[in-house]
Amino acid sequence: MKCPYCGYSESRVIDSRPAEEGATIRRRRECLSCQKRFTTYEIMERVPLIVIKKDGSRQTFDKVKILNGMLRACEKRPVALADMQKAADEIEQELQNSLEREVDSTAIGELVMQKLKTLDEVAYVRFASVYRQFKDLNTFMEELNKLLNDK
């Protein structure tokens, strides 16, 4: 890190602590040449995640869209907003950790269904009925039977 006072490129870290709820790290440094102190911040670089839609178009990942879908599925159900936010955060983290920069929207939908299955079975079926575009009662019953067999 270059000293803002003398331009020397060597410094030592005196103190490190998390800042902004752990999103950044604040470091107090001392220049090895002029001994003046200065503060730096480290921020994790996030490469944008691209979602490939069913029609082939691409757009940047938006966690709010996942949360909105979960909110619609959980409407009038006893599911806490905090639980839905946690599930959306976990989905985003899983996608970021996969190191894939492009992901199919179908993969995201499957992750949402996995999370909803553990949160609320009715919300899961609601989401699945829209996501999988159930055409008739038989396909709806097949999904319900899968859910019952998993228990």
- pTM for the structure as a whole: 0.65
pLDDT of residue 93: 87
Q: What is the pLDDT of residue 43?
A: 84
In the numeric block, the tokens 């996608």 are attached to 95
Q: Which parts of the chain register pLDDT below 70?
A: 135-136, 151
CA 122 to chain centre: 23
What is the pLDDT at residue 68?
Answer: 95
pLDDT of residue 23: 74
Give the pLDDT confidence score for residue 150 in this predicted structure: 77
| Distance in angstroms (rounded) separating the CA atoms of residues 101 and 51 | 9
In contact, 61 and 53? CB cutoff 8 Å = no
142 sits in which H/E element: helix 137-150
**Residues in CB range of 74: below 8 A, 6 or more apart:** 84, 116, 119, 120, 123
Q: Is 145 exposed, middle or buried (0-12, 13-18, 19+ CB in 10 A)?
A: exposed
**3-class secondary structure for 57-104?**
CEEECCHHHHHHHHHHHCCCCCCCHHHHHHHHHHHHHHHHHCCCCEEE
